[in-house]
């Protein structure tokens, strides 16, 4: 998840509102994950893509 340090500090609106940008969507957006090859895909990239698919569900 990409957030600024100030967004996750204690007492911020981000923490009080659930702590995830995925649960606060108000409009539909498009998101693309572009990577060079599945053959040499790093584990951390695969985990991030799996996370996005899980959070975004059928929209992915």
pLDDT at site 21: 57
In the block, residue with structure tokens 């695969």? 46
- The total domain count for the chain is 1
Residue range of the domain that includes 22: 5-59
Sequence-distant (6+) residues with CB within 8 A of 47 are none
Per-residue pLDDT of the chain (60 residues; tens, 9 = 90+): 555 555 455 555 554 555 555 555 556 777 777 777 767 778 888 888 888 888 777 554
Give buried/exposed letters for 11-45 (b at 16+ CB in 10 A, else e): eeebeeeeeeeeeeeeeeeeeeeeeeeeeeeeeee
CA angle 24, 53, 51 (to 5 degrees): 80
């Amino acid at each position: 998840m990409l957030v600024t340090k100030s967004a996750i500090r204690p007492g911020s609106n981000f923490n009080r509102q659930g702590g995830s940008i995925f649960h606060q969507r108000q409009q539909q957006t498009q998101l693309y994950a572009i990577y060079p090859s599945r053959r040499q895909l790093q584990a951390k990239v695969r985990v991030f893509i799996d996370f996005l698919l899980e959070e975004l569900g059928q929209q992915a």
